[in-house]
Structure 1
Amino acid sequence: MPRRTLVSLGSVNADFQVRVDAPAGSQETLLAHQFRRFAGGKAGNAAFLGARFGHRSLLLGRVGDDALAEQALAPLRDAGVEVAVESVPGRSTGVSMITVPPDAKKHIVLATNANDDWAVPGIEAMAGVFDGITGPACLVVNYEVPAIVVRRAVQMACRQGWSVVLDPSFPDRVERDLLPSLTAIVPNVAEAEALVGFAVASLDDAARAALALQSEGVSIACVKLSDGGCVLAGDAGLWHLPGGHLKPVDTTGAGDGFTGAMAIALLEGRPPLEAAAWGVATAQHAVTAYGSQAAYPDRARVEASAGELLDRAVPLERPAC
């Protein structure tokens, strides 16, 4: 059987993370502790999971020509990710500055830096990498790189018959005419609100948002909820996967873990509801430890938790307009 490939395209960052004893903005200066440096970025996090789950995992992106590039990339290489990331002369690597308050709900300030520095030769080089991939593949991509890069990647992936999973961060960059080319779109609540134009304050709202996105042509629309669960709209109908009861330590990277695990499950040919259960299971385990990649569970834990989650899945009625 040909080896399956997860192709992860998007942001690659160096994360700087601290815990604080009060919410961001509650006072001018917050006293911090437990300072840590991690590898991060949406594409880096998804690629880490691809390798951790036993697939060929290929990372495409940009870093700067600075010391932070190794902070962002070394843990990925160590995990077995194939790093096809270009260093951009004169630019800084993307940086996420993360504070984690007592309720574990992180606050992030992101400097995209080199992530947004793509030129035509780099896009053409990406096309060459895509052409060299044989066997089943899935592209997982986000908009923390320029929209033209996402467009070209999605077009190439579709030509090769791959599945495509989009994390729509940043939602204002999303080009709506690409939605029919996607296998799945996986916004969080804030991103869903930006995309559909109405508040997502309840389960019915999340269902309406998922259906609205699906109506634009995407096969699977999955709204990630703040409790770690999700609402899924797909060919098998409308479903709610409830969040878990694990006490969160740090929510950093949980959404990225959801996206990566769902993409991996789809790559393996699993049904959409099972794929979403993989996403929920990964996100739930990710919040129980500090950091993102370092907190991600292994395949065995995800498979076991996903099975339990499927038993709790609830079919939903279509909400009234």
Structure 2
Amino acid sequence: MTTDFVFLDAEKETGTALIMVDETVGQNQILVVSGACDNITPAEVQRTHQLIDEADIVLLQLEVNMDAIEQVIDYAHAKGKQIVLNTAPARKLPESLLKKLDIVTPNEIEASILTDTKVETAEDAEKAAQILMNSGVKNVVVTMGKHGVFVMTPDRKEMIPSMPVKAIDTTGAGDAFNGGFVTALAEGKDIFEAARFGNAVGALSVTKIGTAPAMPHRSDIDRFLNA
């Protein structure tokens, strides 16, 4: 793993997250102080341009300042890159930005905030996905925890069931899904196959305590999918 794009800010503290997990069901609540993550500069974004030039897919999230996110999206879009946005933590997004996104991957809460609609069922997810697509997003993937993953493209929709596991700690499940999902896309899988792969990665991640320590190895993922 390279540290070439880990930037230092002499004036801000490192971002911090306090995570509380309900041991009975493995669900979590997270309190985040963004710190230096909210202070990425245009010059720092520009340093990533060569990396974006070499990429096929650009995956972003919302844990940094919007100026930086918009600059990366604008550059990647101009270069014709496939852009995937993990909309966490959720915030309202302008239509001008949504139109540049190939895929968004909100969970139920994030989809609710993005679309001002309740998202609890597959039918709710479909309604929210349609709102996002009407705003210009090309494809929508709504992760719904134990209920599975809802995927909508311009010509197809599918509710992909969850994979049966005993959840110990759901912290990082969305990150695990997105990492697996984009890996599968980069390997040439279509969006539905990629969602199934991401689903497996997310499922395995909740069976262990922690975030980085809970991320599964590729051999574990392949074994789980082939079981």
Kept in 1, the 8 Å contact 2:92–2:114? The answer is: no
What amino acid sits opposite 2:202 in the alignment? A
Match of 2:72 in 1: 153
Contact 2:173 2:206 (8 Å CA) reproduced: yes
| Aligned alpha-carbon RMSD (Å) | 1.9
Is 2:87–2:110's contact at 8 Å kept on the other side of the alignment? yes
Higher relative contact order (CA 8 A, sep 6+): 1
Indicate yes or no: 2:5 matched with 1:84: yes
Q: Distance in 2 between matches of 1:281 and 1:170?
A: 22
Alignment check: 8 A CA contact 1:147 1:173 kept: no
Q: Is the counterpart of residue 129 in structure 1 residue 48 in structure 2?
A: yes
Q: Work out whether residues 45 and 68 of structure 2, in 8 Å CA contact, stay in contact via their aligned partners in 1.
A: no
Report % sequence identity.
Answer: 26
Gaps of 5+ in 2: none
Distance 2:103 2:219 in 1: 24
Alignment-mate amino acid for residue 292 of structure 1:
T
Higher-Rg member (1/2): 1
CA contact (8 A) 2:45 2:71 kept: no
For the pair 1:251 / 2:178, whether they are aligned, the reply is no
Task: Identify the structure with the greater strand proportion.
Answer: 1
Question: What letter corresponds to residue 168 of structure 1 in structure 2?
Answer: T
1:248-274 Cα distance to aligned partner (Å, 9 max, x none): 110010011111211222222320001
**Kindly tell me: are residues 260 and 146 of structure 1, through their superposed partners in 2, closer, same or farther at Cα, counting changes over 3 Å?**
same
**2:108·2:142 contact (CA, 8 Å) conserved in 1?**
yes
Equivalenced residue count is: 226
- 2:37 aligned with 1:115: yes
Question: Which 10-residue stretch deviates more, 168-177 or 99-108?
Answer: 168-177
Residue 242, structure 1, aligned to residue 164, structure 2: no
Quick one: which of 77, 86, 106 aligns to 2:28? 106
Name 1:168's counterpart in structure 2. Answer: 87
Q: Compute the displacement of 1:99 (Å).
A: 1.3
Give every structure 1 segment of 4 or more consecutive aligned residues whose post-TM-superposition deviation is greater than 6 Å: none
Which residue identity lines up with residue 281 of structure 1 in the other structure?
A
Counterpart of 2:215 (choices 296, 306, 309) is 296
- Pick closer, same or farther for the CA change 1:303–1:182 going to 2, 3 Å: farther
Please list, as runs of the form range in 1=range in 2, the aligned pairs for 1:1-321 lying within 5 A after superposition: 80-102=1-23, 103-118=25-40, 122-131=41-50, 134-227=53-146, 229-306=148-225
* CA deviation map 1:186-229 (0-9, x unaligned): 00101100111111122211111122212222221011103162
Letter in 1 for 2:30: I
The alpha-carbon deviation at position 173 of structure 1 amounts to 4.7
